[in-house]
Amino acid sequence: DGGITQSPKYLFRKEGQNVTLSCEQNLNHDAMYWYRQDPGQGLRLIYYSQIVNDFQKGDIAEGYSVSREKKESFPLTVTSAQKNPTAFYLCASSTSGGGQPQHFGDGTRLSIL
């Protein structure tokens, strides 16, 4: 079955530590996205990538980094510079072209130890 796989489901970060969230898709989609969701809130865009080897900052990119070396993979690193990383992180993908329906993974919940 085609879909998006996020791992791990739960992640704990120590002070000063960088952590990387995995996102893999087998939908053959060109575009991929990372969102942050805080309790009772909507989704806020962190980064998005329209094509391999290219990505753009979203509304809240500070303290995060991404790479897009393969079409299937779009990992997100939460760096130590992100002072409030506790949130639910969602990865999504879509076909190329703006405003397309997005397919989501089941998220990674990140907490601070």
Residue 80 C-beta: closest distance to another protein, Å: 27
Q: Are strands 108-112 and 10-13 parallel, antiparallel or unpaired?
A: parallel
Residues 49-108 that bind another protein (CB under 8 A): 50, 56, 58-59, 90, 92, 98-99, 101-107
Residue 13 tokens, joined: 């970060």
Beta carbon nearer to another protein, 17 or 56: 56
Alpha-carbon distance 50 to 98, whole Å? 9
Residue 105 C-beta: closest distance to another protein, Å: 5
Alpha-carbon distance 103 to 94, whole Å? 6
Identify the residue among 43, 63, 77, 79 touching another protein (CB under 8 A).
43
Beta carbon nearer to another protein, 18 or 95: 95
Query: Distance of CA 36 to CAs 8, 98, 104, Å?
Result: 15, 20, 12
- Give which of 2, 13, 110 is closest to 34, Cα–Cα: 110
Q: Which residues bind another protein (CB under 8 A)?
A: 4, 6, 31, 35, 40-45, 48, 50, 56, 58-59, 90, 92, 98-99, 101-107, 109
